């Protein structure tokens, strides 16, 4: 799990450096919008980068994006992919693993928009 | 222009316009990855020239199998380490009087022309987001721009892709990713192969340039839109139709 956390932090650092946000330290309790200054598309980029690295996307089926406000929340979402017997969407098998709370992309987008208003 | 490191995915590259696109981009130095349901002599020739898959790879994928489409794109990313461009070319003609069309044919048209393009775009975009650069071209149709009897469902799928082009251009533009549509008019292809000479003459008469197009004329516009020469062009629908829709 420590390795997973390192991967998430390293990816986040890459994004922060690309955006030249001037954030020197990242903490689990940091919120993406208020503390780190990320936009929704930056978060989408991070999820894409993590899917390419880890082979899973917890937001495809398993976890609602609305539950993600902080770096710690994001780590917990990915941890769920690897601890849940069902897992997330596995890129190697391609099988959605668990019943989705919200599988409709429009619903996810609405969630993301709501999340942004709440400070994701 | 040197494209020796650029990787492009072209759906449906085994014949017709797809074959011309594959040839065009290989000639430009791109690494080309394509798929279709089955290999054609053209694909076999390309494979024979590059058995190590250094600049060309093909896989048998039925475009309606969305998970296979996704896995194809991810395998290209893993093999070459990048995806710089995507051309959503795979498509089928869906024609007939609307009220007489079978549900099965309608669903297949939507699956091939629209759903598979959405899935492939979604997967490639994740790679492009990582790179913060990329270009996507959707092959649509003048049928998506103007009304023509007998092609309602086909028109619907192509107009939907044009809608995706516009919205996605706004969504991912901030990350340096461009998306455009090329809307061909009538050109020599499988879709026009069963037209009678009379029908072709009628089309030519209604076309300002007085003839049908050639697949190379469509491919050259796609090549432009993918290239850095079009670096300030996004969200546009470019009709390549000899003026048919003007």
Active site residues of B: 154
Contact between chains at A49 and B130 (C-beta distance less than 8 A): yes
Q: What is the pLDDT of residues B9-24, one digit of tens each?
A: 999 999 999 999 999 9
What percent of chain A is predicted at pLDDT more than 70? 69
ipTM of the complex: 0.85
The verdict on B172 touching A (C-beta cutoff 8 Å) is yes
CB nearest to A94's CB, from B67, B126, B132: B67
* A93-102 contacts at long range (C-beta below 8 A, 24 or more positions apart): A94/B67, A94/B70, A94/B71, A96/A60, A96/A61, A97/A61, A97/A62, A98/A61, A98/A62, A99/A61, A100/A61, A100/A62, A101/A63, A101/A64, A102/A64
| pTM, 2 dp | 0.87
All residues of chain B having their beta carbon less than 8 Å from the beta carbon of residue A41 are 171-172, 174-175
Q: How far apart are CA B112 and CA B91, in angstroms?
A: 6
Name, in order, each residue with C-beta under 8 angstroms of B145's C-beta and a sequence gap of 6 or more.
Answer: B159, B162, B183, B237, B239, B245
- CB B154, CB B139: distance < 8 Å: no
* Nearest chain B Cα distance for residue A47, angstroms: 8
Interface of A with B (CB under 8 A): 18, 41, 44-45, 48-49, 51-52, 91, 94
Q: What is the pLDDT of residues A76-111, one digit of tens each?
A: 999 998 886 655 444 433 333 333 333 334 444 444
């Amino acid at each position: 799990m420590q390795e997973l956390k390192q991967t998430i932090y390293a990816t986040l650092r890459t994004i922060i450096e690309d955006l030249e946000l001037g954030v020197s330290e990242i903490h689990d309790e940091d919120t993406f919008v208020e503390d780190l200054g990320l936009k929704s598309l930056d978060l989408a980029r991070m999820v894409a980068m993590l899917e390419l690295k880890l082979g899973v996307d917890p937001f495809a089926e398993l976890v609602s994006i609305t539950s993600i406000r902080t770096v710690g929340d994001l780590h917990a979402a990915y941890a769920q992919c690897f601890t849940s017997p069902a897992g997330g969407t596995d890129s190697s098998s391609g099988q959605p693993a668990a019943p989705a709370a919200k599988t409709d992309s429009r619903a996810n987008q609405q969630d993301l928009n709501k999340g942004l208003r709440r400070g994701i | 222009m040197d494209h020796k490191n650029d990787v492009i995915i072209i759906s449906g590259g085994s014949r017709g316009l797809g074959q011309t696109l594959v040839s065009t981009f290989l000639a430009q130095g791109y690494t080309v990855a394509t798929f279709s349901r089955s290999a054609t002599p053209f694909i076999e020739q390309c494979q024979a020239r590059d058995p190590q898959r250094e600049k060309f790879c093909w896989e048998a994928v039925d475009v309606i199998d969305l998970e296979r489409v996704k896995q194809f794109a991810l395998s290209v990313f893993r093999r070459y380490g990048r995806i710089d461009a995507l051309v959503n070319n795979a498509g089928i003609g869906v024609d007939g009087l609307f009220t007489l069309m079978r549900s099965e044919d309608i669903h297949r048209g939507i699956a091939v022309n629209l759903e598979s393009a959405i899935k492939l775009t979604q997967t490639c975009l994740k790679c492009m987001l990582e790179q913060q650069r990329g270009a996507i071209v959707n092959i649509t149709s003048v049928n998506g721009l103007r009304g023509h009897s007998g092609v309602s469902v086909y028109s619907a799928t192509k107009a939907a892709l044009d809608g995706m082009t516009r919205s996605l251009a706004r969504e991912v533009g901030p990350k340096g990713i461009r998306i455009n549509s090329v809307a061909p008019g009538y050109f020599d292809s499988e879709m026009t192969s069963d037209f009678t000479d009379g029908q072709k003459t009628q089309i030519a008469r209604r076309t300002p340039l007085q003839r049908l197009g050639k697949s190379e004329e469509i491919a050259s516009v796609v090549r432009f839109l993918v290239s850095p020469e079009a670096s300030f062009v996004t969200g546009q629908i470019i009709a390549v139709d000899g003026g048919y829709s003007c």
